[in-house]
């Protein structure tokens, strides 16, 4: 079965909106776009390139797709895989694109994504796509969160975990801290959340 892997730049208060630039996503009056720029370094770049070079297809929300759609075909040298990957796009308004291969999903997105997971193919990578993420999380469809956590707070903006998040347990399978304090960590699902009484040693 294909895994859904969520890859996100995230602030300490959980915001994932517009990390790349001021005009990337200003919806809701968000005015802090481009907040990851001061934290770039070689360690983070190496970690990102490793993920970008893995075999993958993409699962994207419409807004993220439309940000990427005019950009990546013009920058194939930086990330060749993004253009050849199948792009599954959750949208009730789009049905086609010149950026191929693209397949548009409407209606019951959770059911359609669950079916895609059962099909042969590489893992499905999710970048950005804040609204789609809430659907995936509510229906327990995410297998892995690969997060880059930045030492900054936003105070507002689209968050990775919003209302409707299920109780879930994870295990850390890899982590590192960059020279500028970004924590890069891989969380894989580890069954259901368990509870108990805390005992002091």
Residue 91 has pLDDT above 80, yes or no: yes
Asked if residue 199 is part of any domain, the answer here is no
Residue 201 has pLDDT above 70, yes or no: no
Asked if residue 90 is part of any domain, the answer here is yes
199 compared with 32, residue with greater pLDDT: 32
| CB proximity list for 196: less than 8 A, separation 6 or greater | none
Asked if residue 194 is part of any domain, the answer here is no
Asked if residue 196 is part of any domain, the answer here is no
Number of structural domains in the chain: 1
Average pLDDT over residues 40-50: 96
Q: pLDDT value at position 165?
A: 84
Asked if residue 43 is part of any domain, the answer here is yes
DSSP E strands in the chain: the ranges are 4-11, 57-61, 87-90, 102-105, 124-127, 144-150, 170-177, 183-189
Asked if residue 197 is part of any domain, the answer here is no
Give the residue numbers spanning the domain of 163: 4-189
Average pLDDT over residues 6-23: 96
- Give the CATH number, domain containing residue 68: 3.40.430.10
> CA nearest 158: which of 54, 24, 38, 59?
24
Average pLDDT over residues 95-111: 97
Confidence of residue 196 (pLDDT cuts 50, 70, 90): confident
DSSP lists the bridge partners of residue 57 as 124
Asked if residue 195 is part of any domain, the answer here is no
The rounded mean pLDDT for the chain is 95
Asked if residue 41 is part of any domain, the answer here is yes
């Amino acid at each position: 079965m294909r895994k859904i892997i969520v890859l996100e730049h995230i602030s300490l208060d959980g915001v994932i909106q517009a990390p790349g630039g001021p005009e990337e996503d200003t919806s809701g009056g968000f005015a802090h776009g481009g907040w990851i720029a001061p934290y770039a370094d070689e360690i983070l770049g190496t970690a990102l390139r490793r993920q970008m070079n893995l075999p993958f297809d993409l699962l994207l929300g419409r807004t993220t797709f439309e940000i990427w759609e005019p950009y990546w075909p013009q920058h194939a040298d930086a990330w060749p895989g993004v253009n050849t990957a199948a792009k599954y796009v959750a949208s009730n308004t789009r049905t086609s694109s010149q950026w191929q291969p693209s397949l548009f999903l409407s209606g019951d997105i959770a059911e359609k994504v669950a079916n895609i997971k059962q099909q042969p193919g590489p893992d499905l990578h999710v970048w950005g796509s804040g609204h789609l993420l809430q659907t995936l999380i509510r229906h327990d469809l995410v297998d892995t969160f690969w997060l880059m956590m930045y030492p900054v707070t936003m105070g507002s903006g689209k968050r990775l975990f919003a209302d409707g998040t299920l109780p879930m347990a994870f295990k850390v399978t890899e982590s590192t801290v960059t020279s500028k304090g970004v924590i890069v960590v891989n969380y894989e699902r580890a069954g259901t959340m368990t509870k108990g009484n805390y005992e002091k040693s």
